[in-house]
Amino acid sequence: MTYSQIFKYDISLNIIYDFLDNICEIKDNEYILKNTSYKKGVMLNYIDPFCKKVEPYYYVSKKHYVTKKINYKSLASIIRQLCKFKNVGIRSQITYNKSTYEIIYYIQIIDTNTDTNTDTNTDTNTDTNID
């Protein structure tokens, strides 16, 4: 586990990805987090349960990130913190439309299958008797 001033315990990537699966679009092996994703999370009531689920991982002094009223900007901050902590690639793009702007985040999808046991019983040794 890497040292963090925000998180006191390691958090599973599955918690993050399960949440993002519910609210984000997926394109080119990346989650796309944008304002419509936030609105979908609010409408379908995904944001509050997610914040309650990740709250125990935060230090007491940093729990305000997940206990305050969550808007798009604060949700993006939480996701950025989690991605940085778990070394998940995240990039942003600012889009302008009629003198307003939106920051869209692209979050890399990493294979969460940590089972690296490749022990398969493939015995290719054949006994040959040469007389």
What is the per-residue pLDDT across 53-93, written as a single tens digit (0 to 9) for each?
A: 999 999 999 999 999 999 999 999 999 999 999 999 999 99
Residue with tokens 């493939």: 122
Q: How many folded domains does the chain comprise?
A: 1
The whole domain housing 29 covers: 13-108
**Domain membership flag for residue 62:** yes
**Domain membership flag for residue 25:** yes
Q: What is the C-alpha to C-alpha distance for residues 29 and 24, in angstroms, rounded to an integer?
A: 12
Q: What is the C-alpha to C-alpha distance for residues 29 and 107, in angstroms, rounded to an integer?
A: 9
- pLDDT at residue 96 above 70? yes
**Domain membership flag for residue 2:** no
Global pTM value: 0.80
